[in-house]
Amino acid sequence: MNRRDAIRLGAGAFVGAAATLERAGTTHLFAQGGPQVVNPTPPPATDPRYPMPPKWNRELRQLAPNVYAYAQGGGPGISAAGVSNAGVIAGRDYLLAIDALQGPVPARSFIAAAKKATGKDVARLVLTHHHGDHVNGNQFFTQAEILSHPYCRSEVLKAIPNTPKMWMPTPGVAEMAEERRLVPPTVTFKDDLVYDIGGTEVQFRCVGPAHTWGDVVAYLPQHKIVFLGDVGFFWVAPYANNSYITKWIDVCNAILGWDADVLVPGHGPIAGKKELAEMRDYFQVLGVEARKRYDAKMTPGVAAAEIRLGRFDNWIGPERLIMDTVRWYAEWNGTLTPDYNANAVREATIEYNEVKAKEKKVSEMIPLDRMDAIAEAV
C-alpha cells in the first residue's frame, strides 16, 4: 500500500501503512463494526477558550400540556449521526408524532414512552424531511397515516430499492436481525398544514430549501414551541449534504422572528433561540472563511483542513466541516443541486487527509468509510 492509498482509506489504515508519520501516543480514529456503525466521532479540538457541548439525556420531556419532545441523548464523544430527536402531541383520542427516528430501538422506545405518558396510540406521523434518521422508523408506526412534503416522499421512494431487507444488530439502532422495510409517506402537502390536536394548534410550515429541499417545521404558537427537524443542530456541527446553506440561513433568521421560546432541534439538546442563532453563525463564519479560500483557488478539502472556526471547533461532529465546505463551494461555482455529491465529499476528504498527513496530525485524519457511513445515516 502506498502513501496515497493509505490517505484514501484514512487514519485506520494509516496506522500500519504510514507509521513513520506517527508520534508515539497519537490517538487514531477507527470505523467500528462495519458500515452501519459510525462511532466514535472524532474528538473536538477542545479549545479551552470556548465551552464544550453539554451532555443531554434520553427522555420524553413534557414541554406543555399534551406536548412532548423525545430526545435520544448525546454529548461529547457520542456520534451525532442518527442521534435525532422527535416530538408528539396528544389529542383527545390519538397522538400525532413528529419524525420516526433511525430504526427499531429508538422508534419503539419513542412509541412506548409516548404510550406510557398519554395512554394513546400514534394515528398520524408527520416527517420533517427524508433523511434516514428521521424516516427509517416509519415501519414501526403501524397504525399511523404518514405525511410529508412531496420532496420527502419522492426521496424515500427513490431509496426503497437500495434499502437492506433486514435490520442487523447495531448498537442503539437494532437489537436483533429482523425484517426491514422503508415505508413511504402516504399523504403529501406543499403548503402549510394546520391541525387542532386536542385544543393545541399545530402549524406545519414548509420552509425548504434549507437543510433539504423538503423541510417542514412544526410551530405551536399558543405554547411558543417549534419542532425544527434538522433545520436545527444545537451544539452539533450541522450536516449540509443536501442543503442550500444561504437559504438555510434565511430560514433561521425567519424562525428567530417567530414568537417562540422553546426550540426542539433535530440534533442536540432542547433549547431556544440563542442556540439556533449560534448554528446560523456557524454557517456564516464558515462561509466567510471558505470564501477567502475559494477566491484564492484553494480546493475544498485543502480549505477545510486549514479552516478554524473558533468557538464552533468544540462542537460534536467536527468532520462535517468538510462536507459543509464542499456545499458552500457548490453554491459559488454553480453546481449546487438538491442531491448529495458523494464523490466531491470523498475527494475533499482525501485532500483533507493529505494535508493532515503532511502536518503529522494523524489523529485529525478522517476515515473515508466513516464519511460514507455518515452520508448514509443522515
SS (H, E, C) the chain: CCHHHHHHHCHHHHHHHCHHHCCCCCCCCCCCCCCCCCCCCCCCCCCCCCCCCCCEEEEEEEEECCEEEEEEEECCCCCCCCCCCEEEEECCCCEEEECCCCCHHHHHHHHHHHHHHHCCCEEEEECCCCCHHHHHHHHHCCCCEEEECHHHHHHHHHHHHHCCCEECCECCCECCCEECCCCCCCEECCCCEEEEECCEEEEEEECCCCCCCCCEEEEECCCCEEEEEEEEECCECCCCCCCCHHHHHHHHHHHHCCCCCEEEEEECCCECHHHHHHHHHHHHHHHHHHHHHHHCCCCHHHHHHHCCCHHHHHCECCCHHHHHHHHHHHHHHCCCCCCCCHHHHHHHHHHHHHHHHHCCCHHHCCCHHHHHHHHHHC
**pTM for the predicted model, two decimal places:** 0.89
pLDDT number for residue 213: 98
Domain 56-272 fold is Metallo-beta-lactamase; Chain A (3.60.15)
Mean pLDDT of the chain: 87
pLDDT number for residue 270: 97
pLDDT number for residue 17: 33
pLDDT number for residue 286: 98
In DSSP terms, 226 is beta-bridged to 219, 263
Spans of the chain, pLDDT less than 70: 1-46, 79-82, 374-378
Q: Would you kindly state where each structural domain of the chain is located, as residue ranges?
A: 3-50+282-377, 56-272
Neighbouring residues of 20: CB distance < 8 A, sequence distance ≥ 6:
none
pLDDT number for residue 8: 57
pLDDT number for residue 26: 26
